[in-house]
Structure 1
Amino acid sequence: MSDITRLDPGPRMSQAVVHGGLVWLAGQVGAPGQSVTAQTQAVLASIDSLLARAGTDKSRLLQATIWLADMADFAEMNAVWDAWVDPANPPARATGESRLAGPDYKVEIIVVAALK
C-alpha cells in the first residue's frame, strides 16, 4: 500500500500528489486565448476541484505561486484572486512573469495545501 496518492497521473506528471498531510498541485492553466479574468477563474475552479478530490479546500492553502505571461495583467488577475481567496486564511504567495507553455496562456497557478 502506497502512502502517496496521485490524482490524474499521466506519463509526464500528475495533477496533484497527496503525501504526509499535504497536497501539491501541478500548475493549473485556463483555456488558451481567453482573457486573464476568464483564465484565472478557470484556474481557481480547477484548484477548488482538485483540492476537494484530495480531501481539503482553499482555507487550507499554504503556498501559491502565480506565473503571469505579462505583469501588466497583475491587477486583473488579482481582482479574481481577491474575490476567491479565503481572507481569513490567505497563503504565502509569490507572483512572477514567465513565458508559459504556449503564447495564448496568460496565467498559471501552483498551490500547496494541508489536508483536513
Structure 2
Amino acid sequence: MTIKRSIRTPIQNRIVEVGNLAFVGGVIADDTTQSMGPQTQNILGKIEGYLGEVGLNRKAIVAAQIFVTDLSQKKEMDAAWTGFFGEDMPTRATVGVADLGGGAMIEVVVTAARS
C-alpha cells in the first residue's frame, strides 16, 4: 500500500494519505488570543485549505478528534462547528485537556475519505 505525505512542517506532515483515507494532523488557530469560537472557525478553514491541496474538501471529513482546554466554552465551539459543516457533520469526540501550549484553546485532528 502506498503512503503519501503532504504539507511538511518541522514536526509533521499535515496530511498523510493511505488508501482512500487522508489523515490531517493536529491543527491549532493562527491567533490563539481569540475565544474558542473564532479559534474553531480559523482551524476549520485551515483544515479545508489543507484538504484542498490534496483534492478534497470539508464534505470528505468523516471523523474528528477535538481537544479543548476549557469545556465551559464548548457551546461556542459547537456553534462554529455546526455552522461550518451544516448537515454534513462528521463523527467526533471532544476531550478536555489541561494545556495545548501557546494560548491555544482547541486542537483538531480529522480523517477524510475519498469516495
Structure 2: tracts of 5 or more residues without a match:
none
Q: Which has the higher strand share?
A: 2
**Alpha-carbon distance, 1:3 to partner:** 2.3
**Alpha-carbon distance, 1:11 to partner:** 4.3
Question: Which segments of structure 1 move beyond 3 Å, counting only runs of 4 or more?
Answer: none
Instruction: Tell me what 1:4 maps to.
Output: 3
Q: Give a deviation string over 1:42-94, Cα, whole Å, max 9, x none.
A: 1000111011112211112111111111100100000100100141x321110
**Alpha-carbon distance, 1:12 to partner:** 2.5
How many matched pairs?
A: 114
Instruction: Tell me what 1:111 maps to.
Output: 110
**CA distance in 1 between partners of 2:80 and 2:68 (Å):** 14
Partner SS state of residue 9, structure 2: coil
Q: Give a deviation string over 1:24-49, Cα, whole Å, max 9, x none.
A: 00111002222212211110001110
**CA distance in 2 between partners of 1:115 and 1:56 (Å):** 7
**CA distance in 2 between partners of 1:37 and 1:56 (Å):** 24
Partner SS state of residue 26, structure 1: strand
Task: Answer whether contact 2:20 2:113 (CA < 8 A) is retained.
Answer: yes
Q: CA RMSD in A?
A: 1.6
Task: Answer whether contact 2:82 2:89 (CA < 8 A) is retained.
Answer: no
Deviates more, 1:37-46 or 1:98-107: 98-107
Do structure 1's residue 26 and structure 2's residue 60 form an aligned pair? Answer: no
Task: Answer whether contact 2:20 2:114 (CA < 8 A) is retained.
Answer: yes
Please give the residue correspondences for 1:22-101 in structure 2 after superposition, counting only pairs within 5 Å: 22-30=21-29, 31-87=31-87, 89-101=88-100
Identity of aligned residues (%): 28
